[in-house]
Structure 1
Amino acid sequence: MTMLYPLLMLAGPGSQILTPPPMPREFRAAWVATVDNIDWPSKRTLSVSQQKAEMIRILDIAKGMNLNAIVLQVRPSADALYQSKLEPWSEYLTGQQGKAPSPYYDPLEFAVSEAHKRGLELHCWFNPYRALHPAQKGPVVASHISKTNPEIVRRYGSYLWMDPGEPEVQRRSLQVVLDVVKRYDVDGVHIDDYFYPYKEKGPDGKLMDFPDDRSFRRYRSGGGHLARDDWRRKNVDDFIRDLYSGIKQEKRWVKFGISPFGIYRPGYPAGIKAGVDQYADLYADARRWFAEGWCDYFTPQLYWPIHQTAQAYPALLDWWLAQNQKGRHLWPGNYTSLTSPSEKNWPAQEVADQISITRQRGANGNVHFSMKAFLQNYNGITSHLMNGLYAKPALVPASPWLDDRAPNAPKVDVESMGDNQWSLKWRPDGDNDVRFYQITVQVGEKWGTPSVTSADNLKIKQPSGAVTRVAIAAIDRTGNESGQTVVRLR
């Protein structure tokens, strides 16, 4: 006879026999950059089947090394790596801006589906203001914003940028992001460190100012009184705040993450040096966004080694932790691709030590730039983490400010197929917002390594009848975990 019973809250040594120990909580993610074909697709000339195969390999490696999320760039330069009525198909996908994949498929829909099959979250990465990257080789199509709205696009150095001081730019970028949130079952929205552009030099060798005279004059003539630098920061502040609010109004469970330059300003904290002052140069008041709670996770790009005193990883991490006034997630970004022999040739242990420091501080997560480091196993980084710090899977930390109600334990049906074979099927108990299930198998009195999946069934064939129990828990979209439903097979 098959027995079903929910989590037993037992004291004493016997409780671990009846129920598995809890999984650790840690965000483990990698950026998948599409601009200039950094990570995916590897070339602009790949067939649809080759693109899909590459994405599957990315997701399989991510799952195999116990990552639990990828951050996929879907809007590199006012273009789209998904079906959009607002912006043209990206050149990085098909080799020609505005050209759809043939045979047709929606790359984002495909990536979301395949990620979820593997128990991985998928976060969409947008560039809110970049209009054209110099890596683009082909012509710009008529539907691109530089053609439809040239009055709000500025040339700055080798790039085209949408002017953050133009209300239409703010409206357009907000519309683009929320369109994806509405239409796709994504787990997060992500923006990086590109706000106002990094400073570039003109032909005379001097740093150029961003050419926003037109929008600033209109602001002043309309009664605005802020100085230009403060006005620029306000433009970005308003966008960040409105984007966070817009995402929550559409789907409260979709996490919003920001990944700014890793140093707030030179001298923050004392002794830190930087060639970029993001507050003054990029007009990004990242400390304010974090302190105000205008994001669900904050990923400062701590791209320097531990012992580089002027940009020391531990000192920067500690400083950012002190700014976390709203109790949001702090998951620093790591420049894992510097393990490449063609880059800084960091030993894999440098990245592992950074992860260890992050854990020691209680930050509970890291985001790696970029997936290529794991695909190529630079300096053995993939195997180093698989056999060490990422040897066992982890759940994405919950976000209780979004929702702190755990789902009910799932209902499980078990059918004996005879000859020590079992078929298990499970489903949510009630109208719960379940994203994944955690499955743990017990052999004898020892629980195995849990797995996370979106599947709703499992078949067990055991010649010796060694499997004793199977435990299944539901995990909702904000990371809350139910109690375990434990099935005893013998």
Structure 2
Amino acid sequence: MGKINFGSWQIRLRLLVLTFLGLAIALTINFPFWVAAQTPSGNTASNSIEQSTQSPTQAPPPIRPVNGNELRGIWLTNVDSDVLLSKQGLHKAIKRLKRLNFNTLYPTVWNGGYTLYPSQVAKNSFGVEIEPLPELQSRDMLAEAIEFGHEQNFAVIPWFEYGLMTEEGSELMRQHPEWATRRRDGSQVFVHGEKEQHRLVWLNPTRPEVQKLLIDLIVEVVSKYDIDGIQLDDHFGMPAELGYDDYTIALYKKDHFGRLPPEDFKDPEWMSWRSRFLTTLMRKISKAVRAIKPNCLISLSPNPKDFSYIKYLQDWYSWVYLGYVDELIVQVYRDDIDNFKRELERPELQEIRHKIPVAVGILTGLRIQNVDMRQIKGQVKLARELTLDGFSFFFYETLGNRDASFETLFLTPAPRPDLRNIASVGS
């Protein structure tokens, strides 16, 4: 072995030390930025409705291509609102909504046990052709909404707001009191309103006459009018404590070898048995609509999944997979942004977004409740960050004098979501 050249070795050692020192300094300088780039923002969720709920660098990719489509709907009702009560007022409102870049109208056509359009079905069933409001007489509100809406390129989707619910004092109930279902103690009225002015009862979905009325009303609208779809909501169900009327009990006994229904209305089998009648009715409605107009959308605006079933026996998740629903707008009326976000992130919503458009219903106010514009903007922002298909606002009158604020939400027009595009991505 030869001799070691210590001078040469010392030079090499110094160079090696300096090289490692330089690398260390470089890493020290750049490390904070590297950590920041790899660490999610600490503000991934916040009660501040103006704050983004996701770091921009950590946002998940959209579940489908971003194509600019967005459902921008609004519910038009005759409760605490005058928008439907004059032809001129309706025309003015639709022009305003066009200017604000909305694209979908949901005008109520079934409220309190009456139709808001001239209905031969209603006249034949309980003797009243149209709701007895002076402002609705001698006109066809729905025909006007369709005419004005289509002139402005809106989708017009009549909303059967009351579903299976009706006012206790309606002519429908006076003519057919046996059509209402009851609680176990025999009571049937649900009292609502700050002055307890609304006394509501529920039509019994197990009765063929009730099923026929709902189907015939929907078929009448689909056949008679140039509509883009029909909509049902959370009232197309039945409160779980109901079903103890004589007719339903007799049906249950027939199916269960003479046994009475359980005393506990939350009994799983008893809930499932009653829920199936709603699913059957939904199937009949879907079949009837598609037989007349195959491209007529069937829109549903329920409560979140678990609440819908536990509270109203409404199994809308199954309806989507059975092909009965073309558009879902889940009512998420929450003040707290974390609760709002939690509902939008529910696994069933993420799942069915590959099958049909899924949007969120956002509360813009009630007659006795103001909703701050910051909350509305925060919820719209979050729905977009989670790549939902849009939103619908409840309800028109509560837009108030806030046009400038709503203009900032919809800066440019947008087409409605395309069902076929969503289906192709989800397949």
Correspondence for 1:107 among 138, 141, 144: 141
Q: Is the 8 A contact 1:23 1:395 kept in 2?
A: no
Structure 1 alignment gaps of length 5 or more: 1-21, 43-50, 200-208, 266-276, 405-490
Deviation readout 1:94-146 (Å, 9 max, x if unpaired): 27xxxx71xx221111111111011111111113211326xx7xxx44xx3x2
2:113 is matched with: 78
1:289 is matched with: 319
SS at structure 1 position matched to 2:97: helix
1:65 Cα deviation after fit: 0.2
Correspondence for 2:398 among 373, 376, 383: 373
Deviation readout 1:338-371 (Å, 9 max, x if unpaired): 6x8x52x443132122222222222221010001
Structure with the higher strand share, 1 or 2: 1
The 5 Å alignment of 1:16-35 reads 24-34=68-78
2:341 is matched with: 314
Of the structure 1 ranges 109-118 and 314-323, higher mean CA displacement relative to structure 2 is found in 314-323
Q: Is the 8 A contact 1:181 1:251 kept in 2?
A: yes
**d(CA) in 2 for partners of 1:170 and 1:402?**
32
**d(CA) in 2 for partners of 1:297 and 1:244?**
13
Asked if 1:385 is matched to 2:413, the reply is no
Correspondence for 1:54 among 89, 97, 107: 89
1:260 is matched with: 302
Structure with the higher helix share, 1 or 2: 2
Q: 1:89 to 1:57 in 2, by over 3 A?
A: farther
SS at structure 2 position matched to 1:125: coil
Correspondence for 1:40 among 75, 83, 96: 83
**d(CA) in 2 for partners of 1:362 and 1:294?**
24
Asked if 1:246 is matched to 2:271, the reply is no
Of the structure 1 ranges 156-165 and 53-62, higher mean CA displacement relative to structure 2 is found in 156-165
Deviation readout 1:437-486 (Å, 9 max, x if unpaired): xxxxxxxxxxxxxxxxxxxxxxxxxxxxxxxxxxxxxxxxxxxxxxxxxx
The 5 Å alignment of 1:290-439 reads 290-307=320-337, 309=338, 312-319=339-346, 320-324=348-352, 327-337=355-365, 343=369, 345-374=370-399, 376-377=400-401, 380=402, 382-386=403-407, 388-400=408-420
**d(CA) in 1 for partners of 2:412 and 2:421?**
27
Q: 1:68 to 1:292 in 2, by over 3 A?
A: same
Q: Is the 8 A contact 1:81 1:93 kept in 2?
A: no
Q: 1:332 to 1:402 in 2, by over 3 A?
A: closer
Asked if 1:233 is matched to 2:275, the reply is yes
Q: 1:31 to 1:92 in 2, by over 3 A?
A: farther
**d(CA) in 2 for partners of 1:196 and 1:400?**
28
Asked if 1:168 is matched to 2:168, the reply is no
**d(CA) in 2 for partners of 1:326 and 1:160?**
37
The 5 Å alignment of 1:200-211 reads 209-210=241-242
- Highest relative contact order (Cα 8 Å, sep 6+), 1 or 2? 2
Q: Is the 8 A contact 1:292 1:326 kept in 2?
A: no
1:401 Cα deviation after fit: 8.0
State the 4+ residue runs in structure 1 displaced beyond 6 angstroms: 401-404
Asked if 1:93 is matched to 2:125, the reply is no
Return the index of the structure with the highest Cα Rg: 2
1:259 Cα deviation after fit: 0.8
Q: Is the 8 A contact 2:76 2:83 kept in 1?
A: yes
Of the structure 1 ranges 156-165 and 222-231, higher mean CA displacement relative to structure 2 is found in 222-231
Correspondence for 1:131 among 166, 191, 209: 166
Q: Is the 8 A contact 2:163 2:236 kept in 1?
A: yes
Alignment TM-score, normalising by the size of structure 1: 0.61
1:41 Cα deviation after fit: 3.7
1:411 is matched with: none
**d(CA) in 2 for partners of 1:325 and 1:215?**
39
Q: Which amino acid aligns with 2:376?
A: V
**d(CA) in 2 for partners of 1:314 and 1:53?**
39
Asked if 1:117 is matched to 2:115, the reply is no
Q: 1:356 to 1:403 in 2, by over 3 A?
A: closer
Q: Which amino acid aligns with 1:105?
A: R
Q: Is the 8 A contact 1:291 1:323 kept in 2?
A: no
Alignment TM-score, normalising by the size of structure 2: 0.70
Deviation readout 1:162-182 (Å, 9 max, x if unpaired): 111212211221111111101
Deviation readout 1:284-307 (Å, 9 max, x if unpaired): 123222343421111110111353
Query: RMSD over aligned Cα, in angstroms?
Result: 2.7
Q: Is the 8 A contact 1:32 1:39 kept in 2?
A: no
**d(CA) in 2 for partners of 1:392 and 1:384?**
14
Q: Is the 8 A contact 2:297 2:326 kept in 1?
A: yes
Structure 2 alignment gaps of length 5 or more: 1-65, 123-127, 182-187, 191-198, 262-268
Q: Is the 8 A contact 2:159 2:231 kept in 1?
A: yes
**d(CA) in 2 for partners of 1:159 and 1:212?**
17
The 5 Å alignment of 1:152-167 reads 152-154=179-181, 155-157=188-190, 158-167=199-208
Q: How many positions carry a matched residue from both structures?
A: 328
**d(CA) in 1 for partners of 2:214 and 2:163?**
6
